[in-house]
Amino acid sequence: MTDAAAGHEEAERTWCLAEVDIFCDLSEQEMEAIAAAAPMKTYHAGEILYSPTQPSEVLFILKKGRVRVFRVSADGRALTTAIVSPGTIFGEMVLLGQHMYDNYAEALDDTVVCVMSRTDVHRLLLADARIAARITAILGRRLADLEQRLSDSVFKTVAQRIATTLTTLTSAQPPAGPLRPVGRHPQIALTHEELAALAGTSRETCTKVLRDYADRGLLRLARGRITVLDPERLKDVAG
């Protein structure tokens, strides 16, 4: 391998970790050490990153795309336990107090992750008090989100759950910038079937609710894409 090729490969590995929240104040040398232990993997939308039939004790660092973590009941119904956005972590890692158990992890978009083994997580992440504290905070927020989702599944109507899911996905999008002007309406790249799975309902019911929201001027619907025209009103509908 030439020096230029080696430099490009090193830059690609470091790129995978750039802008990830838990690494925000690491030195270049610290970033390079972590990047060397966390190879990148790419998954296409709809691919499964993790399943109970193929368990592996690894930590995923999400660089690009969104990942849905869900479990399936005995009667085949799916409950989404988390929607993971770029810049954070997920995975089966007992030493973090984090368990996937019977959960699946599915790429909602074309996704890029960096993957770390148990040994490297302990050596490079948990040994650093700054990173360990941030990981603890992330897992705490995720537990609170799961409790809210479970509460929503019991107390909210289907229409409210769909509005809540859309609001969550909208808020998880990156902030406005040169490539995403402030005035642009948030767009969510999901089919009605995918959104129904996230909200815990049928595709038919989801389509009916979305059409109602579109008639009320909250959304604009297109094939495989939902444009949120009025995020504040949608948030009010979500309750």
pLDDT tens string 132-173: 888 888 877 777 777 777 777 778 899 999 999 898 888 765
Taken as a whole, the chain contains a residue count of 239
Contacts of 89 (CB under 8 A, 6+ apart): 22, 59, 60, 61, 62, 135, 138
Minimal CA–CA distance to 69: which of 54, 58, 56, 85? 85
- Model pLDDT, residue 179: 42
Whether pLDDT at 2 is above 60:
no
What is the mean pLDDT of the segment spanning 40-46? 92
Q: Which residue reads 């030493």 in tokens?
A: 95
In whole angstroms, what separates CA 195 from the centre of its chain? 14
| CB atoms near residue 150 (< 10 Å) | 12
Residue with the bigger pLDDT between 105 and 56: it is 105
- Model pLDDT, residue 25: 83
Global confidence as pTM: 0.70
Whether pLDDT at 236 is above 90:
yes
- Model pLDDT, residue 98: 57
What is the mean pLDDT of the segment spanning 81-89? 83
Report residue 181's pLDDT band, with 50, 70 and 90 as the boundaries: very low
Report residue 176's pLDDT band, with 50, 70 and 90 as the boundaries: very low
Mean pLDDT of the chain: 81
pLDDT, tens digit (0-9, with 9 covering 90-100), for 186-209: 888 888 988 888 888 889 999 999
- Model pLDDT, residue 93: 61
DSSP E strand boundaries for 9-57: 40-43, 48-50
- Model pLDDT, residue 13: 59
What is the mean pLDDT of the segment spanning 67-86? 81
DSSP E strand boundaries for 39-197: 40-43, 48-50, 58-64, 67-72, 78-84, 88-91, 103-107, 111-117, 187-188
| CB atoms near residue 102 (< 10 Å) | 12
Q: Are 78 and 71 in contact (CB under 8 A)?
A: yes
Whether pLDDT at 183 is above 60:
no
Residue with the bigger pLDDT between 16 and 115: it is 115
- Model pLDDT, residue 207: 95
What is the mean pLDDT of the segment spanning 30-49? 90
